[in-house]
Each structure stands twice: as C-alpha cells, then as structure tokens.
Amino acid sequence: MSTDTPQVTEIAKFNELGLIPPLLARLTELEYQQPTPIQAHAIPSILAGRDLIAGANTGSGKTATFALPLLQKLFKEQGEKSSTNHSGNYVSALILVPTRELAKQVADSVRSYAVHFNGQIKTVAVFGGVSANTQMLALRGGTDILVATPGRLLDLITSNAIKLDRVKTLVLDEADRMLSLGFTEELSALLALMPKASGPTPKQTLLFSATFPEQVQALTAQLLNNPVEIQVQNSDTSTLVQRVFTVNKGQKTALLASLIKQHQWSQVLIFVNAKNSCEHLAEKLSKRGISAEVFHGDKGQGARNRVLEAFKAGEVEVLIATDIAARGLDIEKLPVVINFDLPRSPSDYMHRIGRSGRAGEVGLALSLIDHEDYHHFKVIEKKNKIRLEREQVKGFEVNEALVASLIESLPATDKPMAKPEGTGKKKAKKKRETISSVNADIWSGYSKPK
C-alpha cells in the first residue's frame, strides 16, 4: 500500500480548502471558526478524488471531513448535467456506519451542511429497528447520499429497494467498530455489489477508523487504491482529563452517587457492560435520590431516540448506557463520562471517553475501579499507551485488609498475580509476597489515606 501524509504547516482556513460558497456560508452559520486538523488534511485530498484512510479520534470533526467534499462533488456534477444525479433506485454516495444512532446523526449532519443546496441533494438514512417500509418509500427514485447500517441495507437490496452498482464514493465510518460488531460478512456482501476501485467506473473509498486491528488492515489493503493516509494525533482530546478512582468492591454505587451529588454535573454519561446492569444501577441510584435514564439495545428505537434527545437537551442529567452509546454519538459539550464497569476492550475505552471533551470542549473521563478491575485497567492503559494516577476519594478509601482477603478468596486462576508456587513455609512466604506486591501496585502513584 503506498501512502503519503500531507503536511499542513499552518492552521488552514476553510476558504483555503477548495470548498464552494454555499458550503462556506453554512460553516460560517455553524460558527466553525477553522477546520479541525483532520478536515484541513483530508478535505483537499478527497476533493481531488483520492482514496483516504484516516485514523482519528471521535469528536475530531470526521463527519464534516467526508460530508463537505462529498456534497460539493455531487452538487457540481448536478450543475454540469443540470439534473439530479439520483435515478432509478441507485445511490451515488454510500456512507456505512455501525449503529442506528450514528446513521441518523450522520444523515442529519449531511442535511445540515447542505442547507444552501436548496434540497438538490437527496440524503436518506436506513437502519434496523424501525419499519423498512418507510425507508423503501424514501428510497423510491434513488438517492444521492445513503447513510446505512450494513444489515438493513442488505435487506433493502434483497427487496430491490436500492442498488449499489453506481456507487461512486464509499465511506466506511468507524470501520473498526463495524467489524467488531460482527458486520464482516455483511460488509463483504455489500462490497461485492459495488463497482471496484480499479474497474471501468472506479469508486472512491474513504475509510475512517479510530483503531487499526488486523481486520481493518485487511479491508484497507483490499479496498483502497493508493490512499492518502492521515493520522491525527491526540490533539482533539487534549481537553479531556482522564482520572481513575479506586474504591472498595461493593462501594462503587455509593461513590458514584456521592460524586453525582457533590459535583452536580449538568450531564453525566455512565457506562456499564450489560443491559440489565443499566436497569440495576438506575434503581440503586434512584434509591439514593438520583433519577437516571437508561440507554441500551433492548429499548425500542423510539424510546432510544426519546431518551437521547432528552439527554442532549439537558432534560435528563444522568444517562446509564451500554457500549451502544460509546461510538459516534455526538452529544454537545458532554462534561463527564464515567466508566462504572470497565469496557472489555481497550479500544472501547477510547471510544467511551471520546463522548466527552469533544471539539475542544473541556471534559472529564472518570473510571471507577475496584480491585477486580485493577488488572484489566492496567491492560487498558498499556494498550492505549496511557498511565493514570490511581486516586481515592475521601470517605471511600480503599481497605487494604479487605483487598487482601478478597484476593485470597478468589480462585487461584483469577488472582491478579500468578499463583505462588512452593510448599510449606516457602509457599506461605510467597503468598504473602504476592498479596503485598499486589497492594504495592494498587497503592503506587497515589498517597495512602491516613
């Protein structure tokens, strides 16, 4: 794969990126003062027709990065032909995303950037969880831009509601997430239905991914033709403060409630790992006088939309969610994200915390860890190349004896350190060392409570 990374030495202005007046006017209305780094790097290359692979943090302005040049190209083509692009049941630009919410959000952004095109560019969003009929109707006569989740799109293709043979631009947004959510087969099936990069009507492919696991690399090699490669470093999350609070097992809820009450955050997004954990935690908080809403995959689409809108509008202050909310949801100025349960994968940690401190806003990402999380958090840190100081909150200091006894009670294989070997006195001594070294690690980096 040949790649090149364009250098942008000075902060560019939007009017230096080659964008046309109707888009520039919209950006002024939206009060976008200057392009984010990924926009400055990528927009000229996309306008020039290059394939692109971009590694960017969430909240980096990815949507505008692909939406603006895409809209510009479609608008110009229509001007040249004096007619709309879409016809039959074809689509010109396809944006594939991993979740329903993201599909809706991206389509809304695209429409918002296109307001000065006077409805000339048709954008449709299709995703599961709602009736396919309305989406079929929307697709009648084709569409210029289609934002879709892979599963529903395949269903609609099977029912002949849409065809992909004339796709000119393909955007894979959050490619890593799409693959981790098990869309690999759907993605292959969809790709097989589109023109090839090297065929008679080559298509342009833009791939965005926060992380680059093997599956994404394979996709990249298979899909992209001499792409421009852009890796935007952490500058966009520099306003995000990450902290870790250690707490005794069984005291997380009390600590969480105390933090919420003490800090009176206007909005806080709390992540747990299971749907029923959302409900349990909401109940427990409610008993402590804190009302919270839940957001997870078992809720109907209508309910999910309502909760999200209420949270965005500030009507709901505490939202407890599974990882379904970790990707791509753009909640303006979200001040705090809390990991009540640690995410299973280190990359999910980055996606979760990316919900806060977006587009230059100051944000706080807080992880609450008890001793059972301790080892896993180290893995998360290592993989993400971060190292955070363990802190304790007054009134919730960690009980060393309790930690030691809890470690003792774990089956040997679950202990955070290797099972001590040896017998008799030697074994006992080794056991003590294991516990004390675990404790030493737990305490390292912060001061012990008096």
Nearer to ligand AMP, 95 or 179 (CB): 95
Size of the site for ligand AMP (CB under 6 A): 14
Q: Does 60 bind ligand AMP (CB under 6 A)?
A: yes
In this chain, which stretch among 59-67, 296-304, 308-316, 370-378 interacts with ligand AMP, using CB under 6 A?
59-67
C-alpha triplet 156, 157, 160: angle, nearest 5°: 90
In this chain, which stretch among 55-63, 153-161, 289-297, 343-351 interacts with ligand AMP, using CB under 6 A?
55-63
Q: How far is the CB of 32 from ligand AMP (least distance, A)?
A: 4
The full length of the chain comes to: 450
423: tokens are 């017998």
**Placement of tokens 């749907």 in the chain:** 275
Q: Does 62 bind ligand AMP (CB under 6 A)?
A: yes
Q: How far is the CB of 307 from ligand AMP (least distance, A)?
A: 19
Q: How far is the CB of 327 from ligand AMP (least distance, A)?
A: 10
User: Which H, E and C letters describe 380-397, residue by residue?
Assistant: HHHHCCCCCCEECCCCCC
DSSP 205-220: EEEEESS--HHHHHHH
Nearer to ligand AMP, 62 or 351 (CB): 62
Helix (H, G, I), strand (E, B) or coil at 115: helix
DSSP 126-187: E-TTS-HHHHHHHHTT-EEEEEE-HHHHHHHHHTTS-B-TT--EEEETTHHHHHHTT-HHHH
Q: What is each CA distance from 171 to 46, 192, 198, 206, in whole angstroms?
A: 11, 15, 17, 5
Q: What is the DSSP letter of 213?
A: -
Nearer to ligand AMP, 44 or 59 (CB): 59
Q: List the interface residues with ligand AMP, window 353-382 (CB under 6 A).
A: 358-359
Q: How far is the CB of 61 from ligand AMP (least distance, A)?
A: 3
Residues facing residue 372 across a β-bridge: none
Nearer to ligand AMP, 8 or 290 (CB): 8
Gap between the terminal Cα atoms of the chain: 57
Pairwise CA distance, residues 380 & 288, whole Å: 31
Site mask for ligand AMP (CB under 6 A), range 159-198, x = bound: ----------------------------------------
Site mask for ligand AMP (CB under 6 A), range 101-130, x = bound: ------------------------------
Nearer to ligand AMP, 32 or 443 (CB): 32
Site mask for ligand AMP (CB under 6 A), range 339-358, x = bound: -------------------x
Q: List the interface residues with ligand AMP, window 12-51 (CB under 6 A).
A: 32, 35-36, 39
Pairwise CA distance, residues 278 & 274, whole Å: 7
Q: Does 72 bind ligand AMP (CB under 6 A)?
A: no
Among 19, 51, 63, 161, binds ligand AMP (CB under 6 A): 63
Pairwise CA distance, residues 282 & 293, whole Å: 7
In this chain, which stretch among 53-61, 124-132, 187-195, 363-371 interacts with ligand AMP, using CB under 6 A?
53-61
445: tokens are 């980096």
* CB distance 249 to 399 below 8 Å: no
HSE-CB of 141 using CA atoms within 13 angstroms:
8
The neighbour count for residue 300, using CB atoms within 10 Å, is: 10
Among 61, 98, 343, 357, binds ligand AMP (CB under 6 A): 61
Site mask for ligand AMP (CB under 6 A), range 418-447, x = bound: ------------------------------
Among 293, 330, 370, 373, binds ligand AMP (CB under 6 A): 330
In this chain, which stretch among 57-65, 121-129, 185-193, 376-384 interacts with ligand AMP, using CB under 6 A?
57-65
Nearer to ligand AMP, 64 or 324 (CB): 64
CA gyration radius, the chain: 24
In this chain, which stretch among 61-69, 113-121, 143-151, 194-202 interacts with ligand AMP, using CB under 6 A?
61-69
Q: What is the DSSP letter of 119?
A: T
Positions touching ligand AMP (CB under 6 A) are: 32, 35-36, 39, 59-64, 330, 332, 358-359
